[in-house]
Amino acid sequence: MKADVEAPFKPGVFSHIFLLICVASFDSGGVLAVNMTIPNTLMVGSVGGEALLSVRYSSFSLDLPVIKWQLRREKSITVVQSIGTDIIGTLRPEYRDRILVFENGTLLLHNLRLSDDGTYDVEISITDDTFTGEGSITLTVDESISRPFIHMESSSVLELSENVVLNCSHDNGTRTTYRWFKGGKPVSNMTRFLLSPDQKLLTITRVLMADDDIYSCTVGNPVGNVSSLPLRLSVYRRSSLYIILSTGGIFLLITLVTVCACWTPSKKSKPPVRKPLSRSYDRCRHSPVNHTDDLLPKMPEHNGINAVTSLYILQQKDPSMDDSSSNSFESPPELDNPPCYTSPPTYNGCLTPPTRSPVPSSYRFT
């Protein structure tokens, strides 16, 4: 009985062993392929920087791999093709001196441009392997953002005035996103706070005193985020504004009155007005008038000397000499009281230098 039972058992064992061998041989045939791994399928780069498109592969073959990188477009563009690290053929002009391929298939791009943005497909194949390793990496190239600033018409507004628009402006940057902050807290679409579709503009309708705060904006893209300097929005009540305006108007009026009161026009000397010459000028040229006679009355002469002259001499002389001079001559009695004139002398319309009578040399003035 034991022999009958053990006999059919042996063929079943051999059949199981055969199946295991077949499965093992099938699995061993799958190893003849390049196994590729990509640590990061999304890469970010900035203009002028570098991007490392990293890949790894494994194979039982000792042959050098054939590596091919392509950039997806409507028609794929071959970036580089190499055997190991040796580049095959001639690179396109836009990639010359900007490409480096490593032994594990990794691609390094120097001096990135905006045109380098896109999806890169890589293929690694080995002659002894049946299957080729394939993968793709997406590279985004953006321009760095300059520091933004908030632009508005005026930094101070009146309560319950018209709408106030804040504009977050910047010079450089691609694929930008915007965020607004009020007093350090994010601002979202509310009843009176309206954001544009790209959130670059913030509109405040019907400004209230509660809107008096510090505002700022942040601009970001895949390269980084940059925040603007804070801006203070000052809101004034209508009554306060009227007081400020009236005070300023009164001060300005006082200043103008003070300046006008202190200012005096400069007086310029006017040239003398020349009167037209009268006909008497011609008469004067032909018949000069002796003004001495007009100014002084005729006095009788005493010993050949005019009485007025003698009177002047007598008054100017030293008193000590009065006695001696009295012996020589006596003045007429009418000279004791000099004549008086009640009206100024009249002129005939022309003046000529008066003629003086010569003073005798015998008289000395003191």
**Digit-coded pLDDT (tens) for 44-70:** 999 999 999 999 998 888 888 999 999
pLDDT for res 272: 59
Give phi and psi for 125, each to the nearest 5.
-130, 150
Instruction: Provide the pLDDT for residue 113.
Output: 95
CA 236, CA 157: separation in Å to the nearest integer?
A: 6
pLDDT at 10: 46
pLDDT, one tens digit per residue, over 322-357 is 444 444 444 444 444 555 444 455 545 444 455 554
Bridge partner list, 108:
52, 100
pLDDT value of position 86: 92
pLDDT at 350: 45
CB contact at 8 A, 182 and 215: yes
Contact assessment for residue 228 and residue 215, using Cβ atoms and an 8 Å cutoff: no
**Which pLDDT score, from 0 to 100, does residue 253 have?**
83
Q: What token pair was written down for 363?
A: 């008289």
| pLDDT at residue 21, rounded to an integer | 44
> In terms of Cα–Cα distance, which of 200, 192, 194, 151 is closest to 173?
200
The pLDDT score that the predictor gives to residue 309 is: 46
Give the CB-side neighbour count of residue 239, counting CA atoms within 13 A: 1
Contact 136, 154 (CB under 8 A): no
What's the pTM value of the predicted model, to 2 decimals?
0.53
Dist. CA 191–CA 204, nearest whole Å: 9
Contact 34, 132 (CB under 8 A): yes
Rounded Cα–Cα distance for residues 165 and 201 (Å): 7
Spans of the chain, pLDDT less than 50: 1-11, 13-14, 16-30, 278-297, 300-336, 340-343, 347, 349-352, 357, 359-366
Domains detected in the chain? 35-142 (2.60.40.10), 149-238 (2.60.40.10), 293-335 (no CATH)
Strand partners, 181: 186, 216
Closest CA to 207 of 166, 261, 267: 166
